Amino acid sequence: MADDTAREEDHEPGASGGEPVADEPVSAPVADEVAAAVVARFAGSVFVESHGQSVVYVDRAVMADVAMLLRDEEQFTMLVDTVVVDHLLDGSRVSVDGVVPERFEVVVNFLSHARNRRIRIVAEVPAADPTVPSLTPIYPGANFAERESYDLFGITFEGHPDLTRILMPDDWHGHPLRKDDAAARVPVTFKGDPSPR
């Protein structure tokens, strides 16, 4: 039965008990308490769920701080992997509300044995300044994954103890997994190859 005493002002944006004002950000509730802690601590972070896994988009400047929060307060003792995605030639890309897309994404997967769960942290990285903080001082296991990302994509991990090439020869020019690098421009001899071709 309709409420005949309801007034129009009660249903306008911003009215008590009504919808939020258009200028106020509206975000979906974060079901995962770990992701909620990251979103609450770091302004501008955006939560999404992807195939049953929590994903939080964070500003690249706070990646090391997020890693310290996960390790020290949320029992994520293992950094599983660090990868880079180059979206230069993507015809279609998943659009996430509240995230400004850049050419590169640095994706870091964390694992908590105590909680029996994973969380993925993603940072957008512009082509004009491809740098992010290194997580190696926090998670030593990130060392080789960050070197590989540097070698193949040209992402600089600031604060890394030994950011040198790991797969390509030291005198190699460019980064072969970038979408704008010419494929098969020269034959490749990898480091430590016992029989160069």
Report the chain's mean pLDDT, rounded to a whole number. 86
What pLDDT digit, counting tens, does each position of 9-39 carry?
A: 444 444 444 443 333 344 557 889 999 999 9
Tell me whether residue 107 is in a domain.
yes
First to last CA, the chain: 83
- Is the pLDDT at 158 greater than 80? The verdict is yes
Tell me whether residue 166 is in a domain.
no
Tell me, what's the pLDDT at 182?
77
Tell me whether residue 194 is in a domain.
no
pTM: 0.79
Tell me whether residue 120 is in a domain.
yes
What pLDDT digit, counting tens, does each position of 77-95 carry?
A: 999 999 999 999 988 888 9
* Number of domains, the chain: 1
Tell me whether residue 164 is in a domain.
no
What is the chain's Cα-based Rg? 22
Tell me whether residue 190 is in a domain.
no
Residue 137 sits in a domain whose CATH number is 3.30.460.80
- Is the pLDDT at 40 greater than 70? The verdict is yes
The whole domain housing 45 covers: 28-158
- Is the pLDDT at 53 greater than 90? The verdict is yes
Tell me whether residue 134 is in a domain.
yes
What pLDDT digit, counting tens, does each position of 92-119 carry?
A: 888 999 999 999 999 999 999 999 999 9
pLDDT band for position 1 (50/70/90)? very low
Tell me, what's the pLDDT at 91?
82
Tell me whether residue 165 is in a domain.
no
